[in-house]
Chain A
Amino acid sequence: MSTAQAKPEQPKSPGKEQPRYPTTGEPISTIARRAKAGLWTLIVMDAAGTIAIIIAYSYLWSLNVNGGWAPPGASLTGSETDQSLPSSPPTASFAVEWPFWAIFGLVIISTLAMWFGYRELKRGNHAGMVVGTGAALVVAVGALVAQWIQISTFPFAAGDGAYASAVLLLCASNIFNLLILIFLQLGMLIRTSKGLVSQAVHYQPQILSYWMVWLCIAFLLGAICTSFMVESPNLDPAIFGTFQQQS
């Protein structure tokens, strides 16, 4: 391969010197482009994980194997269920739907606050960025607390059938996502306060804002599942492992 030698990449507008990345000396725009590409690939990876959860939820919901989708006591399908192996008293029921949407709403508010801060930063309003990020952080912590309260007050336990398992996994995934989000927002707040995030160096809050849009989609998918895919449509479920004939 024929090659020539070139100077390191220069900023596009020579009159306006771009900040340089301290470790490599590259222009910040180069680092930002790289980080954005990293973000998109991370979203692909996280989306695959989210799809895996959604597949698990919808698959078990549609099959209703052994009539075991619904928690004991909440089964409205009239299906033949092996009642010899209940794991808890038949008082459990499906989860209330609105908390899923409330938590989704909090994530949206947090995202909007982050975008507000980012917009203000681009306008040169450093204080606006601090306010926006701080507000986004507070709301995200609120969402985490709400998620925790929801999990701890579910009317079922982990062993109460496939619905309980799928919903708990969705909520655990939400908690994981919120913990990462809070870490990133806290870091952004500290870094903004220290002046490491500025009008000239704003790619990190931009990336975080994009990431939060993806989180909104992930939370929305979860809320849709838990609201519109509650009772299994399969009223004549397959019976496995009990030597019973399918009706």
Chain B
Amino acid sequence: MSTETITQTATVFGDEVPQPRQYGKPGGIMRRLNMGTALVGGIGLAAIAGFVANALVPSGASTVTFAPVAPDIVYLAILVGWTIGFSVGIGAFVGPIRWLFGRDLTHADAEYMAGKDLGVKRYFKFTTDHKVVGVQYLVVFAFILGFGGLLAMLIRTELGVTWSEVFSPAFYNSMIGTHGIAMIIAMIISVMGPIANFIMPIMIGARDMAFPRLNALSLWLVVVAALCLVSTLFTGGIQDGWSVYQPLASQGPPAMLGYQMTIIVFAISTGVASVNLMVTALTMRAKGMTWSRTPIFVYGIFGAALMGLYAFPFFQYSQIMALTDRIWNTSFFNPLQGGSVWLYENLFWLLGHPEVYVIIIPGTVVLFELMPVFMRKPLFSFNFAVAGIVGVVALSGLVWAHHMYMTGWAPAANYPFMLSTEMISIPVGFLVLVVIGTMWRGLVWTRLPIMAVYAVIFNKMIGGVTGIYLSDVPVDQYMHGTMFVVAHFHYMLMGAGLFGAMAGLAFYFPKMTGRVLDERTASIGFWTAFTGFQITFMAMFVAGLQGMPRRVLQFDSLFNAPNWISTIGAYIIGLGMLIFAGAVVSSWISGDKAPANPFGSKSLEWQTPTPVPLENFAVLPVVTERPYNYGVPDPYEKELQEADQDLHPEEVGSR
């Protein structure tokens, strides 16, 4: 840095550091930008783009499938306008533009952008502090989960009221597709968003994520994507399931463009989040935190981020191709002009299956993190846990075509994919072994997080075993496209993923919010939801075994009973989730103030004060031992035993 650009120095963690020139007040234009300006920018530019597109597109034009072009073009313009306008309004482009013109941030700028002294306002801005981003992710996750959950209730209402149609077939189909993709997005961010962002940097002894502005960008892009998704309900709906197979999607209403835009934007968000999480784990661990001293949570997040990094672009490009097929008459997926629908399915499932592990691995490693704390013993076979994660990541990209057994694509490939799919149960088995080994003869401190572990293990066992059934080609020929499949993947994604995330939230709630969770109420909610979950999806297994196809509005009366039971179960889940959410919200607002380390954990994130200060650590820590050394004898214990020898047995017993 040349001397002419340096105008002053700033004290940064005790050192005098030369600063670039400060332009105006710290934060610059970011002082004026917030969620309000983002909404104004997004809605404003969407309106302008929509009007311009409407004026320019000839009203009579039609696509190759004879659908009118104008609604598509106008809707796409609105979506693009919304995405760009919102991003500009929140301040996503300020960083790159400042970089372009050489107006580097000063320490004061960075502190402003991290939300220093901004109070509650920092949660409504492009704030770079990882703790704020974690909390923002939590709220966004809750909204998307609530939206998807509401749709699930409506779907179950339709299927439970077997004597009449509650919704039109088109709207029912839209609810199915929208519920699916909303829940997939919610589950992907369930742990990777709130917990990984808030906890992981502190866990590894860092002051922030590697790229704080990318961190904020990933969060706000999820908001952009989520609202694109909601807009589909008003433009015809996603009527062909969350996978939006071609050529159905190309013949669907304009809402397909909303789906495509949602995925394109969400893939960018996931990409930048993955880059950030991986680089943070690789380069920002505290001194002394060797790989054997690195918490298993970090391995899991790294693995999930790696899967997201390599797999999401396939999904993203499948949607770009689908979009150009629709708007510009390209023919990637149109067989009449040389395209192939199998190409879509391959690209889609190249993400579609790794995404399952992107959801499950973080939900599992968060359990690994809390189990030693509540069992008061080390994590069983740390190396097996690492091997399990590595095995899942390595095999995750080799199993996609087991979703395509029945499509007719490459029948000769079915058996290799059956083998690779069954092989992945080996590293997954390692992970289950770690859970059981850690619980074995542990002194259980029965709190909500550890109770959730039992629930997740139960669900994962059922989801895993039924998954092995479905990976077998002969069984899949019967089960494919039935409610059995729906029950299976809900056991994995919701039973293992969501309940794992709830365990993680219950565990880290005091650190994230500074308040003690009302575990009594939260436990009632949790177990109510768990009970409802078993009722819903066990009944769905039965319906599937009886042969009930998925994604249908009307069905034979043979399936009435399991559907009634399933719907009752779904309402119980809803009730349980509301109770759990109520406990979280009320505790957050008016719960007791939490101590710094309420569970006596040994890992770094619990050694910081609560609420965690902006810089996390006044002085960076040095790690000297493994994170789960709960089995190491307490040096004071020996003294206590020696003292006991001098006492009368009754006195010892009363101690």
> Which A residues lie at the B interface, using CB under 8 A?
1-9, 19-25, 30, 33-34, 37-38, 41-42, 44-46, 48-49, 51-53, 55-56, 59-60, 63-70, 82, 85, 87, 158-166, 168-169, 183, 186-187, 190-191, 194-196, 198, 200-201, 240-242
Whether the pair B102, A24 counts as a contact (CB closer than 8 A) is no
Whether the pair A34, B313 counts as a contact (CB closer than 8 A) is no
Q: A96 vs B107: C-alpha distance in the bound complex, in angstroms?
A: 53
Cβ-based interface call for B394 (8 A): no
Of B96, B107, B332, most A-chain CB atoms within 10 Å: B332
Looking across the interface, which residue of chain B has its beta carbon closest to that of A3?
A: B621
Q: How far in angstroms is the closest Cβ of chain B from A35?
A: 9
Q: A171 vs B35: C-alpha distance in the bound complex, in angstroms?
A: 36
Q: Mark B242-273, 1 if CB is under 8 A from A, else 0.
A: 00000000000000000000000000000100
A-B interface, 9 closest residue pairs, ranked by CB to CB distance from nearest? A68-B338, A195-B2, A25-B12, A162-B338, A165-B330, A159-B329, A23-B110, A49-B313, A52-B317
Pick the contact of A22: B10, B626, B627 (CB < 8 A): B10
Q: A50 vs B320: C-alpha distance in the bound complex, in angstroms?
A: 13
Whether the pair B310, A48 counts as a contact (CB closer than 8 A) is yes
Whether the pair B5, A49 counts as a contact (CB closer than 8 A) is no
Contacts of B110 on A, CB cut-off 8 Å?
23-24
8 A-B contact pairs sorted by A residue (CB < 8 Å) = A1-B627, A9-B287, A23-B12, A23-B110, A41-B309, A56-B332, A87-B64, A187-B100
Cβ-based interface call for B589 (8 A): no
Looking across the interface, which residue of chain A has its beta carbon closest to that of B621?
A: A3
Q: Mark B274-315, 1 if CB is under 8 A from A, else 0.
A: 110011001110110000010000000000000001111110
Looking across the interface, which residue of chain B has its beta carbon closest to that of A190?
A: B102
Q: A166 vs B321: C-alpha distance in the bound complex, in angstroms?
A: 9
Q: A49 vs B321: C-alpha distance in the bound complex, in angstroms?
A: 12
Cβ-based interface call for B158 (8 A): no
Whether the pair A20, B18 counts as a contact (CB closer than 8 A) is yes
Q: A208 vs B635: C-alpha distance in the bound complex, in angstroms?
A: 54
Whether the pair B102, A4 counts as a contact (CB closer than 8 A) is no
Given A25-B12, A52-B313, A162-B331, 20 further pairs, Cβ under 8 A: A5-B621, A5-B622, A25-B15, A34-B211, A38-B279, A41-B279, A52-B318, A55-B347, A56-B343, A60-B339, A64-B338, A65-B338, A158-B324, A158-B328, A161-B338, A183-B96, A183-B100, A191-B99, A194-B5, A196-B104
Asked whether A187 and B99 contact (CB < 8 A) given A34-B284, A165-B339, the answer is: yes
Whether the pair A60, B283 counts as a contact (CB closer than 8 A) is no
Q: How far in angstroms is the closest Cβ of chain A from B534?
A: 37
Contacts of B12 on A, CB cut-off 8 Å?
20, 22-25
Contacts of A22 on B, CB cut-off 8 Å?
10, 12, 17-20, 104-107
Q: Choose, from B54-62, B416-424, B519-527, B601-609, the stretch at the interface.
A: B601-609
Of A7, A41, A161, A190, most B-chain CB atoms within 10 Å: A41
Looking across the interface, which residue of chain B has its beta carbon closest to that of A41?
A: B275
Pick the contact of B109: A23, A37, A55, A200 (CB < 8 A): A23
Contacts of A9 on B, CB cut-off 8 Å?
287, 620
Q: How far in angstroms is the closest Cβ of chain A from B176?
A: 26
Cβ-based interface call for B335 (8 A): yes
Q: How far in angstroms is the closest Cβ of chain B from A150?
A: 17
Cβ-based interface call for B623 (8 A): yes
Contacts of B332 on A, CB cut-off 8 Å?
56, 60, 162, 165-166, 169
A-contacting residues, B219-238, CB 8 Å: none
Asked whether A195 and B623 contact (CB < 8 A) given A49-B316, A169-B321, the answer is: no
Whether the pair B338, A67 counts as a contact (CB closer than 8 A) is yes
Looking across the interface, which residue of chain A has its beta carbon closest to that of B350?
A: A52
Q: A70 vs B338: C-alpha distance in the bound complex, in angstroms?
A: 8
Asked whether A56 and B321 contact (CB < 8 A) given A161-B331, A240-B335, the answer is: yes
Whether the pair A48, B314 counts as a contact (CB closer than 8 A) is yes
Whether the pair A25, B620 counts as a contact (CB closer than 8 A) is no
Of B2, B208, B317, B339, most A-chain CB atoms within 10 Å: B339
Q: How far in angstroms is the closest Cβ of chain B from A44?
A: 6
Contacts of B320 on A, CB cut-off 8 Å?
169
Whether the pair B2, A23 counts as a contact (CB closer than 8 A) is no
Contacts of A163 on B, CB cut-off 8 Å?
338
Asked whether A196 and B1 contact (CB < 8 A) given A20-B17, A37-B282, A44-B310, the answer is: yes
Q: How far in angstroms is the closest Cβ of chain A from B635?
A: 12
